[in-house]
């Protein structure tokens, strides 16, 4: 599979695609810096998966490319990349993958009854 950019996954509105393309190109060149929040990534995953029916691997690859761009600022890049890898390798929701990646990075337990967290190696789960 070729590495796909986020902009390549959604091309259903010509004007929006052109504007986004210019923005991402400027970002790739380092001309501008965009701050990307975890909530934005979660929304991107949700829309690309549920509305556009893209496979997890394509979504994870496109978002990995986006967050690794020189013009992207993200609070905890290593945690985000880990979350995207967990998402790609599992059938767990991205938000749960992000929680698991954060817990792993900070050596924290996750307080939850959600059994999906037991699918991750190295995550301590507390149920009370």
The predicted pLDDT at position 5 comes to: 58
Alpha carbons 90 and 84: distance in angstroms, whole number: 10
Inside any domain, residue 75:
yes
The predicted pLDDT at position 1 comes to: 30
The predicted pLDDT at position 40 comes to: 95
pTM given for the model: 0.88
Contacts of 118 (CB under 8 A, 6+ apart): 125
pLDDT per residue rounded down to tens, the chain (128 residues) = 333 455 566 667 788 878 888 888 888 788 999 999 999 999 999 999 999 899 999 999 999 988 988 889 999 999 999 999 999 999 999 999 999 999 999 999 999 999 999 999 889 999 87
Inside any domain, residue 32:
yes
The predicted pLDDT at position 86 comes to: 97
Inside any domain, residue 1:
no
Inside any domain, residue 74:
yes
The predicted pLDDT at position 66 comes to: 87
How many domains does one find in the chain? 1
The predicted pLDDT at position 24 comes to: 81
Inside any domain, residue 97:
yes
Domain that holds residue 67: 6-126
Alpha carbons 19 and 120: distance in angstroms, whole number: 38
Inside any domain, residue 79:
yes
DSSP H or E stretch at residue 35? strand 34-35
Inside any domain, residue 112:
yes
Alpha carbons 31 and 40: distance in angstroms, whole number: 21
CA angle 90, 92, 94 (to 5 degrees): 105
């Amino acid at each position: 599979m070729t590495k796909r950019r986020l902009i390549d996954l959604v091309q259903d509105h010509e004007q929006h695609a052109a504007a986004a393309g210019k923005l991402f190109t400027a970002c790739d060149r380092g001309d501008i810096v965009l701050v990307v929040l975890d909530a934005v990534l979660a929304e991107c995953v949700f829309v690309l998966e549920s509305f556009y029916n893209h496979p997890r691997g394509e979504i994870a690859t496109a978002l990995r490319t986006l967050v690794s761009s020189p013009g992207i600022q993200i609070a905890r890049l290593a945690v985000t990349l880990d979350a995207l890898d967990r998402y790609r390798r599992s059938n767990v929701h991205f938000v749960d993958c992000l929680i698991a990646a954060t817990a792993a990075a900070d050596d924290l337990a996750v307080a939850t009854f959600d059994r999906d967290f037991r699918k991750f190696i190295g995550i301590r789960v507390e149920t009370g």
